Amino acid sequence: MADPTPALEPVALAPGRLAAAFRPGRPALICYLPIGDPEGGEDLPELYAECGVDVLEIGVPGGDPYLDGPTIRDSFRRARNAGVNLRRASELISAHRVELPRIGMIWMTYPPDDPTGLVDAVAASGVDGFLTPHAARTYRGLGRQLEERGVHFIHFLEHDPRLKDVHLAVESSSGYVMLQANPGPTGIHPLVLPDNSVVIEMLRRIGLRTPVALGVGIGTPEQARAAVEMGADGVVVGSLTVEMMLRGRTALRELLCSLREAIDGR
């Protein structure tokens, strides 16, 4: 019997979007966006773009979100309860891609134990990259499949990265590398962001040419600015955006605009 579910249609990719986000002289602002979370609403991507966000890190429910604190975990749960699965996430993201053809988009998830359909859903959505908070060596096969479909596999490096993960990022990272700015789960905002400048300098000294985005633990515009001053090419803000989203549109807009101003040094 034929499968009654139609296949996901691929969305045309623009390979230069991430490169444009990390253009020289302007740090990239990457903000977490919880796809399908009923607390968020359908206009979040447009709001992010209006406030100067360069890349949407789109959170999609998947496996165990071990690195995330309660803010992101609860958002995943709400989205899943609202019916967001691989197919639905791909459909929602592809609709946003049509409306926002120039903004960078990253599919962020924890791959489930059975990843069947994941690559097809990601590729069909029109995202530019895929990120999972695991060492890239854990998902080399998945990374190759995504790259073959025109999707950057974003390497994630722990706060104090292992040398083998650093060398793998130097050899094969594309799009950008995300470096964990603060040890521990997301949602913990330290009073002072740890100094990551030594690690960033080491990455470049070893030969990393891919841009470095610093994220996890950035809880204020001042810390976002500090991340840039540590040498980061971009800043990733996650739990804080969801916290402000839950407070309402005004709070979220004010946060996003203040982040943009801070990393631009205004």
Name the residues annotated as catalytic.
Answer: 57, 68
Q: Is 218 exposed, middle or buried (0-12, 13-18, 19+ CB in 10 A)?
A: buried
Token pair of 55 as six digits: 């890349």
8 Å CB contact between 180 and 215: yes
CA distance linking residue 108 with residue 104, whole number of Å: 13
CA distance linking residue 99 with residue 47, whole number of Å: 12
CA distance linking residue 105 with residue 99, whole number of Å: 12
Strand partners, 214: 179, 235
What backbone torsions phi and psi does residue 108 show, to the nearest 5 degrees? -110, 125
The three state secondary structure string of 169-180 is: HHHHCCCCEEEE
